[in-house]
Amino acid sequence: MNPAFSVFKQRLRTDLKQQRKARNMVLDWTLFVYALIPGVAIGIYVYMEWLQDIPSIFTFIGWYGWMALLFLSMLIFEIKLYTYVADQLFLSRNIPFLRKITQYGIIYSFGHTIILGTIIFTLPTLLIMEIFNLGIQQMILLYIYYITTSCLFNTWKKYQKIYISSSIFRLVNQILPIIAIILGSPYIIESSFFTVIWVIISVLGCIVISRKILYNGNHFLKIALLDDALRNQLGNLLLMDAKNKGYHPPTKTKPRLWKHSQVMFKQQHTQMIFTDAFIKSVIRNQRVLFPILQLSALLIALIILTSGSWISYIVWGISIYIIIDIAKTGWMAFHHDPFIRLFRWDETMLRDSLEMSVLYLATPILIFLNMIFGYLQFHVIGLLLFPLLVLFLVNWGTKSFLRNSPVF
């Protein structure tokens, strides 16, 4: 059994768990999935439209513009050595052991670079082939050039971070290679001989520079701090997210909305009181309200982008379902709040409150969304017709589908 590999594997597993927890705290996965599904569908449709009719801006930027966009993506790749500051207590003196851990870290980072680089390269592949009339063989050579260059460049970037203290000198030593790489790309795709030579140079360069990066007893604290900075990237994102959302301590001032009255509705039935509390909990809570508004803006943008095509009707139908389902999910979460669960509620009342809550929360958003959709499709007639249509659809949907929804 290899102890160094076991330690590396445990650290990798811990790192991935921390990243997953940070993403779960930053992202609202329900909204993310709802945004992802129509986003991917619209993206594929727009991409196919671009292949049929290449936008002029794509041909205007030319070959070197496309290569600049492609190779600048190398900056997002990083090499992790999986060292910790706490290693200076025990492992920093065991140089061969810690050196093996950093070796596994470099190998894993190369694999991560190849996988992520393949995904990035695949996205513009068809457009580049269509714009510049490239064949499959030329794209394969360009892919090999991109992947090998990414590994070599990021190994060189890691070496600079460890051994070069001047940030200006590091920046110059990164910009100049990128420029040379972009300028050399036309020669690579025209000759497989140049590609083979470059692969040999890249592999040898990665091996030589990697041996310099491996822990050799020097610069331990700098290596560990660089790894900590990479591990804390999502943590810093989480802190920024918390700062943007903010924690507002309770104050004696009344809320801005409905500050002159205690209730929103004149009817004081039990279901209306419950609905009143739910809607206020949404409107007065920025962490709930802002994602809903952002998702609504995204759906409106998708409707505008797809206007004039049949896919816009699919987006329209999906948008209605998403808004209604989010309102329903929000009500269910509110109903299962521990404080609300302290009281006994009648099932009929809860079901009526669910219908009213979805109706009052989803209708304003859907009316605005359908006014835009109707105007884009049928101008003034659609502007008047579709809001009335969505009123019928929301009312019918709440009566038909929510009536059988479990409320306990």
Domain boundaries, the chain: 3-241, 264-400
Identify the pLDDT of residue 259: 45
Identify the pLDDT of residue 315: 84
Identify the pLDDT of residue 252: 47
Identify the pLDDT of residue 50: 85
Identify the pLDDT of residue 42: 74
Q: Which residue positions in the chain have pLDDT lower than 50?
A: 237-261
Identify the pLDDT of residue 51: 87
Identify the pLDDT of residue 267: 55
Identify the pLDDT of residue 26: 56
Identify the pLDDT of residue 260: 43
Identify the pLDDT of residue 146: 95
Identify the pLDDT of residue 52: 86
Identify the pLDDT of residue 248: 44
| Token pair of 285 as six digits | 């809570």
Q: Is the pTM of this model over 0.85?
A: no
Identify the pLDDT of residue 241: 44
Identify the pLDDT of residue 8: 86
